[in-house]
Structure 1
Amino acid sequence: MLAGRNAVVTGGSRGIGRAIVERLCRDGAHVIFNYASDDDAAAEVVRKVRGDGGKVRAVRLDLADPDGPERLMSAAEEELDGLDILVNNAALCPAPAPLTDTDPAVFDQVLAVNTRAVFMTVRHAALRMRDGGRIVNISTANTVRTGPGISAYAASKGAVEQLTAVAAHELGARGITVNTVSPGATDTELLRANNQPQALEAVVGMTPLRRLGEPADVADVVAFLAGHDGRWITGQNIRATGGLA
């Protein structure tokens, strides 16, 4: 359980991020999460969590802005009496396109959210997180199961995985664990927007557990790493893929 623990979750209004916020709150954590633009979705998360007796606050800001990560962490400092858990979930995943057709401006924006913001929030946590804290960075199975059209996304997440490994070494002496969770195909609005139904059916057919992942499947792995039971796991990349390597 996470009673008395304080958490920051990036990108917490929808999909996997929402499931993470709800699970951490259900386990007793006080959670601050950011969202970029969907006020209604964020308000719904807050309403549900508070209705269930949880403690949560939503902060509207765009992590693509250079000062976005610092503003989020400053807001958390004002709200919370310390930081114990950081989950970097926010990500941009543009529509698939060949590398030669990818606008450099899109590449820059993807790395701003998916990589730079993670670096900045982890840096903040390294300076201010209480000993014994937990950092979980969300990556993707696409860094292993690569394919055409995802150069910016895969590159941004590969960098996050390396940052995780280094931070685990640097923060381990303080009892702070740093891990990556890499989901496979997870049934979210983003997945369905970027993939044709037949492509998703093919993925299900190749997955040993014979279904798409659910956001809660990933959130449960994050909650394990964020809690006491995950204390001896650090520097790892947990592939939450239903068995699809």
Structure 2
Amino acid sequence: MTTSETINPPQHQSHRPGSESEMTPAPQSEPRSDRARGKLDGKVAIITGGDSGIGRAVAVAFAREGAQVAIVYLEEEEDASETVRMVEAEGARCLRLAGDMGDTAFASEVIEQTLEAFGKIDVLVNNAGEQHPQKSIEEIDAEQLENTFRTNVFSMFYLTQAALPHLREGASIINTASVTAYRGNPKLLDYAASKGAIVAFTRSLSHQLVPKGIRVNAVAPGPVWTPLIPSTFTAEEVASFGGNTPMKRPGQPAEIAPCFVFLACEDSSYMSGQVLHPNGGEVVNG
């Protein structure tokens, strides 16, 4: 489809969660400001889904602010290698860990290897996710439903449970929700439901951990140009992706990452149980 409404070249990837190296144009992951302020100096962060998209942009932004980073991803080695290169270019170390975040044993392994490499954990970013469009609830089988919730929700429980004994006062947990949790999406029913669960998880965990001095917040992006998009939607849908926002375009990962930096550092010291909404101008309740 080539019309005045075309935003990106039509494209589709037949494998999920998709490869950033195959996208045209490539998502923008470099921080939008050249000024580093040392907001995360001395911190250690774990970022799931850190090989590409929002996760990559967060890893690079954290590194620029002084953090050491562990990225967790499923199997996208080429994308992960590029993220490592970008993080190391900022002068930070980057540990890469490949595996299924829906597996409790792997979640524990992530924590153990991060502690072995860096000695502590200060920031936990639960960002890994998957989605599978279906036109009707009748087309969502048990396997898809379980896979969606295992990756998007169960993984947050598993990794947080494994990390919690090692988090100290001042630590921050940041979960990636979605605008779909607030306005829904008729073709992403199970995905939207999982993101709604993440909002409830964030608020409830915040109440539980406030006495320990650990803050829990979330970011609910609108449409963002990541590998999940061409690997999920048809070429025609990709071409107009994000055009229904007030800004008439999708966001770039680099435009979302500053929300995570803010929630990870002391600038947000009086915030917990909250959700930030970088979504192209859509007004939502929550």
Return the TM-score normalized by structure 2. 0.80
Count residues in correspondence.
244
Give the conservation status (yes or no) of the 8 Å contact 1:96–1:194.
Answer: no
Amino acid across the alignment from 2:84: V
* Counterpart for residue 142 of structure 2: 104
Give the conservation status (yes or no) of the 8 Å contact 1:82–1:130.
Answer: no
The answer to whether residue 126 in structure 2 is matched with residue 91 in structure 1 is no
Q: Select which of 38, 55, 59 maps to 1:17.
A: 55
Q: Select which of 135, 153, 160 maps to 2:198.
A: 160
1:201-233, Cα deviation, whole Å (9 max, x unpaired):
4743x4333321110111111111101101111
When residues 37 and 97 of structure 1 are mapped into structure 2, their CA distance, relative to the original with a 3 A threshold, is: farther
* Counterpart for residue 87 of structure 2: 49
* Whole-angstrom CA distance in 1 between matches of 2:127 and 2:100: 13
The answer to whether residue 279 in structure 2 is matched with residue 241 in structure 1 is yes
The Cα shift of 1:178 comes to 0.4
The answer to whether residue 232 in structure 2 is matched with residue 179 in structure 1 is no
Percent identical pairs in the alignment equals 31
The Cα shift of 1:14 comes to 0.8
* Counterpart for residue 189 of structure 1: 227
Return the TM-score normalized by structure 1. 0.93
Secondary structure of the 2:220 match is strand
* Whole-angstrom CA distance in 2 between matches of 1:24 and 1:199: 29
Give the conservation status (yes or no) of the 8 Å contact 2:230–2:238.
Answer: no
Q: Select which of 164, 170, 183 maps to 1:126.
A: 164
The Cα shift of 1:154 comes to 1.4
The answer to whether residue 153 in structure 2 is matched with residue 140 in structure 1 is no
Secondary structure of the 1:71 match is helix
**Can you give the 5+ residue segments of structure 1 that lack an aligned partner in the other structure?**
none
Secondary structure of the 1:116 match is helix
- Residues 73-82 or 109-118, more deviating: 73-82
* Bigger CA radius of gyration: 2
The Cα shift of 1:175 comes to 2.1
Secondary structure of the 2:40 match is coil
When residues 207 and 148 of structure 1 are mapped into structure 2, their CA distance, relative to the original with a 3 A threshold, is: closer
**Can you give the 5+ residue segments of structure 2 that lack an aligned partner in the other structure?**
1-38
The answer to whether residue 71 in structure 2 is matched with residue 6 in structure 1 is no
User: Using CA pairs below 8 Å that are at least 6 residues apart, which structure has the higher relative contact order?
Assistant: 2
> C-alpha root-mean-square deviation of aligned residues, in Å?
1.7
1:96-116, Cα deviation, whole Å (9 max, x unpaired):
342111121111111111111
